[in-house]
């Protein structure tokens, strides 16, 4: 769903009303966790920016005096994790109050399908907002002879940790090319350690699904001769047709040192929570997320922050909205 004709004044007034209505005392301090990802990817640093934006600890200066425009009494905390699968499981179990997830993982968890086939559907999952597109990076040593996914046969490849969205998507991609983990030497490393292993000659390639530019690849490309393997052929076209959450996209030239534009696949990143979370709290958090001051924090806080926009706040969401978020979007004329 696309959002058109959004009026900034409507959002600003709704945000102000929501936050003013939530004024609390120090005794009502609330902590709110956001499950993110590894520190070398995108979820964790961007989660820190968003956590800061929606927080408003007791004693903060008022929003209209240059202080925090978050939810009064709220301290949101970005927690590192293994990624999307870990986050939806954490939300479902009550370990996390909320978390970031790829749209495919959230849908599969909610419906008990895909990688969650045979498990009880996590019907309590609810969406707060769509955030930005994540891009599949297949990073390889330039001298490894890897020009397509098919060339991974017999190579040393990291798929990220089980419990991450990257791991899930890597298995889907390998399967599309008729490959399994038995066809290669597999490691399960987070992006930072995977980059170190590749630089040191212990890996030939690794997968990472993240918004570009992602820190682990920026660091690696500046210190080693690497390339991005394109995902744009008959096999990936079939994936786009079969899985509605994948789309064709590209990582622009110059995103990573020495690497030209690379065609790849993208999947949406979303902020999700549980139906058990208080409606007023999620209403206030949603209002704070789309506050004008948050817009400025997103633009300067992380390279991917500029992609978190109201125009795409409801795009590609395959699970129900939380009632608090839904109320905000309806009052803002977005639903």
What digits encode the pLDDT tens for the residues 12-39? 444 554 444 444 444 479 999 999 998 8
pLDDT greater than 80 at residue 319: yes
Distance CA 202, CA 128 (A): 40
What digits encode the pLDDT tens for the residues 233-249? 999 999 888 887 888 99
Provide the mean pLDDT of the chain. 90
pLDDT at position 85 = 92
Choice between 2 and 254, residue whose per-residue pLDDT is larger: 254
pLDDT at position 9 = 41
The residues spanned by each domain of the chain are 8-133+270-331, 134-267
Secondary structure (DSSP) of 149-206: GGGGTTSEEE---TTSHHHHHHHHHHHHTT--GGGSEEE---HHHHHHHHHTTS-SEE
Q: What is the CA radius of gyration of the chain?
A: 20
pLDDT grade, residue 8 (50/70/90)?
very low
Q: Is it true that 8-133+270-331 and 134-267 share their CATH fold?
A: yes
Point out the least confidently predicted range of 3-7, 93-97, 322-326.
3-7
Q: How far is CA 122 from the centre of its chain?
A: 19
In what helix (H) or strand (E) does residue 326 lie, and over which residues does it extend? helix 323-331
Look-up of token digits 């930005």: 132
The mean pLDDT value for 249-271 works out to 95
pLDDT greater than 50 at residue 7: no
pLDDT grade, residue 201 (50/70/90)?
very high
Domain 134-267 -> CATH class = alpha beta
pLDDT at position 22 = 45
Please state which architecture CATH assigns to domain 8-133+270-331: 3-Layer(aba) Sandwich (3.40)
The answer to whether the CB of 129 falls within 8 A of the CB of 100 is: no
pLDDT grade, residue 218 (50/70/90)?
very high
What digits encode the pLDDT tens for the residues 272-316? 999 999 999 999 999 999 998 999 999 999 988 999 999 989 988
Percentage of the chain modeled with pLDDT above 90: 73
pLDDT at position 171 = 94
Look-up of token digits 């301290």: 75
pLDDT at position 240 = 86
């Amino acid at each position: 769903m696309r959002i058109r004709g959004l009026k900034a004044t409507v959002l600003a007034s709704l945000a102000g009303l929501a936050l003013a209505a939530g004024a609390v005392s120090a005794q009502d301090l609330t902590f709110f966790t956001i499950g993110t990802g590894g520190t070398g990817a995108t979820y964790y640093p961007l989660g820190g920016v968003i956590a800061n934006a929606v927080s408003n600890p007791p004693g903060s200066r008022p929003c209209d005096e240059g202080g925090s425009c978050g939810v009064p009494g709220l301290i949101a905390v970005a927690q590192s994790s293994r990624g999307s699968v870990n986050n939806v499981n954490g939300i479902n179990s009550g370990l996390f109050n909320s978390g970031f997830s790829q749209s495919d993982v959230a849908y599969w968890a909610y419906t008990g399908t895909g990688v969650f086939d045979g498990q009880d559907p996590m019907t309590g999952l609810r969406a707060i907002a769509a955030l930005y597109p994540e891009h599949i990076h297949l990073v390889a040593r330039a001298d490894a002879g890897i020009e397509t996914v098919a060339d991974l046969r017999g190579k040393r490849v990291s798929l990220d940790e089980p419990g991450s969205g990257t791991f899930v998507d890597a298995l889907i991609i390998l399967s599309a090319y008729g490959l399994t983990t038995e066809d290669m030497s597999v490691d399960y490393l987070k992006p930072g350690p995977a980059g170190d292993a590749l630089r040191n000659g212990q890996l030939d390639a690794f997968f990472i699904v993240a918004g570009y530019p992602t820190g682990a690849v920026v660091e690696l490309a500046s210190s080693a001769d690497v390339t991005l393997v394109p995902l744009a052929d008959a096999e990936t076209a079939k994936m786009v047709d079969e899985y509605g959450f994948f789309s064709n996209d590209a990582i622009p030239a110059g995103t990573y040192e020495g690497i030209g534009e690379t065609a790849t696949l993208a999947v949406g990143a979303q902020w999700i929570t549980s139906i058990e979370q208080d409606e007023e709290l999620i209403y206030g958090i949603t209002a704070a997320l789309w506050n004008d001051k948050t817009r400025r924090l997103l633009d300067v806080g992380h390279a991917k922050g500029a992609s978190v926009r109201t125009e795409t706040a409801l795009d590609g969401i395959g699970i129900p909205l939380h009632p608090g978020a839904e109320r905000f979007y309806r009052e803002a004329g977005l639903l």
